[in-house]
Amino acid sequence: MLDQLIDKFHRKITYVRLSVTDRCDFRCIYCMDEKMTFLPRSELLNLEELEWVGRAFVELGVTKIRITGGEPLVRKNILQLFQGLGKLKGLKELVLTTNGSQLEKMAISLKEAGIQRINISLDSLKPARFKKMTRVGKLDKVLRGIDAAIHAGFKGIKINAVILKNRNHDEVIDLVQFAIERGIDITFIEEMPLGVIKEHDRAEAFYSSQQIRDDLTTSFTLLDSTACTDGPSKYYTVKNTDTRVGFISPHTHNFCDTCNRVRVTTEGQLLLCLGKEQSVDLQAVIRAHPHDITALKLAIIQAIAHKPEKHNFDMTAAPQILRYMNRTGG
Ligand code: SAM
Ligand code: SF4
């Protein structure tokens, strides 16, 4: 059997984003609707199945797994999964995306369990606005979580900020300053049209990476970074600092030709492209062939052959992707 994943456009798949829960203790306005229905637990992959999926991918040449969700750190016994994945031979990077709400109490155990780098979402430094954007989140708790992660000594910490016009676009300079003061990186993300939300019109709230970059250059000098990102971010280094500023611009910057990643949803659907609905049901394969890693690997190999060439997000059209980011594994 093949031991690497190469699609029909000659892209090698080495990176998997694994969503471990669709649940979350926040309700960010761009990610979820106020009232969300979550999947029944029996429909989720259990922790053993999640580890099994990780193992199959690593045996097929995947070297990086990002754990995401929903909020990964609200899943019960999640450290057990990290410890299992952390032991896989061949896995070079085990990394996490979190909203930071649980980091104050979990940062040290995460480091011990084998998580190497952490992305933490932070869209505002103003408590009332933070609460409005997350609907329920408490800024001070997340800030304490960020400090706990810094003290725990992760190899890399990065802030993720989704910027919406007339919501938080006036904070981009302050957010970069926050990152500089802590010696960490920051990435600005353009909102993507995933799932139907009623809170705002996504087209009206769109604030492009180019606009953010223009705003930042009034206060900082951004130097082209040579950092290899193996992904959709374009990076700059802020002059005279160690901080890198990244931009994820799915609307204006097409990164599909170098795409090296796939996603696995909470219920075990293998998504071949963030911007397309095509998926393959890995949960069905696992439950039909328990303990048969070959069957799972074969299903993955066959699926990769159908990875689409590119996405085509359109903010002005009705949402083409009905799944929310929390199930997709952002
Ligand atoms: N709960 C964790 C968190 O917030 O970091 C992990 C999951 S969350 C879905 C992962 C990332 O996706 C976050 O940085 C979040 O800001 C981003 N995100 C969620 N919905 C988005 C959307 N519609 N467009 C762009 N980014 C989005
Ligand atoms: Fe939760 Fe993350 Fe979605 Fe916010 S972006 S609602 S923290 S999953």
Using the mean position of ligand 1's atoms as its centre, give its distance from the Cα of residue 176 in Å.
19
Which of 162, 190, 196, when mutated, tests ligand 1's pocket best, judged by the most ligand atoms within 8 Å of its CB?
162
Distance in angstroms (rounded) separating the CA atoms of residues 258 and 143: 34
Cα dihedral sign, 146-163-326-66? negative
Ligand 2 atom nearest to CA at 24: 1
Q: Is 118 in the pocket of ligand 1 (CB under 6 A)?
A: no
Q: Has residue 134 been placed in a domain?
A: yes
Which of 97, 122, 324, when mutated, tests ligand 1's pocket best, judged by the most ligand atoms within 8 Å of its CB?
97
Q: Is the pLDDT of residue 305 over 80?
A: yes
Question: Which listed ligand is nearest to 158 at the C-alpha?
Answer: 1
The per-residue pLDDT for 318 is 54
Q: Is 325 in the pocket of ligand 1 (CB under 6 A)?
A: yes
Q: For 73, phi and psi rounded to 5 degrees?
A: -80, 0
Q: Has residue 68 been placed in a domain?
A: yes
270 or 258: which leads in pLDDT: 270
pLDDT category, 276, cuts 50, 70, 90?
confident
* pTM of the complete model: 0.93
Distance in angstroms (rounded) separating the CA atoms of residues 40 and 22: 10
Q: Is 107 in the pocket of ligand 1 (CB under 6 A)?
A: no
Residues 6+ apart with CB under 8 A from 292: none
Half-sphere exposure (Cβ direction) of 60: Cα atoms closer than 13 Å: 31
The CATH number of the domain holding residue 165 is 3.20.20.70
Q: Is 134 in the pocket of ligand 1 (CB under 6 A)?
A: no
Question: What are the pLDDT digits (tens) for 8-33?
Answer: 899 999 999 999 999 999 999 999 98
Q: Has residue 1 been placed in a domain?
A: no
Q: How would you classify the pairing of strands 261-264 and 222-224?
A: unpaired
Q: Is 330 in the pocket of ligand 1 (CB under 6 A)?
A: yes
CA dihedral 191, 70, 321, 34 (to 10 degrees): -80
pLDDT averaged over every residue in the chain: 91
What contacts 24+ positions apart, CB below 8 Å, involve 176-182? 176/216, 176/219, 176/220, 176/238, 176/243, 176/245, 177/219, 178/122, 178/125, 179/243, 179/245, 180/238, 180/241, 180/243, 182/146, 182/147, 182/150, 182/157
The per-residue pLDDT for 3 is 77
Question: Are residues 110 and 102 in contact, defined by beta-carbon separation less than 8 angstroms?
Answer: no
Q: Is the pLDDT of residue 99 over 70?
A: yes
Q: What angle do CA 317, 196, 285 make, to 5 degrees?
A: 105
The per-residue pLDDT for 192 is 86
Using the mean position of ligand 1's atoms as its centre, give its distance from the Cα of residue 300 in Å.
25
Using the mean position of ligand 1's atoms as its centre, give its distance from the Cα of residue 33 in Å.
13
Question: What are the pLDDT digits (tens) for 136-154?
Answer: 999 999 999 999 999 999 9
CA 154 to chain centre: 17
Q: Is 324 in the pocket of ligand 2 (CB under 6 A)?
A: no
pLDDT category, 244, cuts 50, 70, 90?
very high
Using the mean position of ligand 1's atoms as its centre, give its distance from the Cα of residue 4 in Å.
29
pLDDT category, 268, cuts 50, 70, 90?
very high
CA 139 to chain centre: 20
Q: Which two tokens stand for residue 162?
A: 């989704």
Q: Has residue 222 been placed in a domain?
A: yes
Q: Has residue 3 been placed in a domain?
A: no
Q: Has residue 9 been placed in a domain?
A: no
User: In the chain, how many domains are there?
Assistant: 1
Which range marks the domain in which residue 189 is found?
15-328
Q: Which two tokens stand for residue 232?
A: 């959709």
Cβ–Cβ contacts within 10 Å for residue 293, how many?
13
Which of 18, 28, 265, when mutated, tests ligand 2's pocket best, judged by the most ligand atoms within 8 Å of its CB?
28
Q: Has residue 7 been placed in a domain?
A: no
The per-residue pLDDT for 254 is 64
Q: Has residue 4 been placed in a domain?
A: no
Question: Are residues 13 and 5 in contact, defined by beta-carbon separation less than 8 angstroms?
Answer: yes
Ligand 1 atom nearest to CA at 24: 1
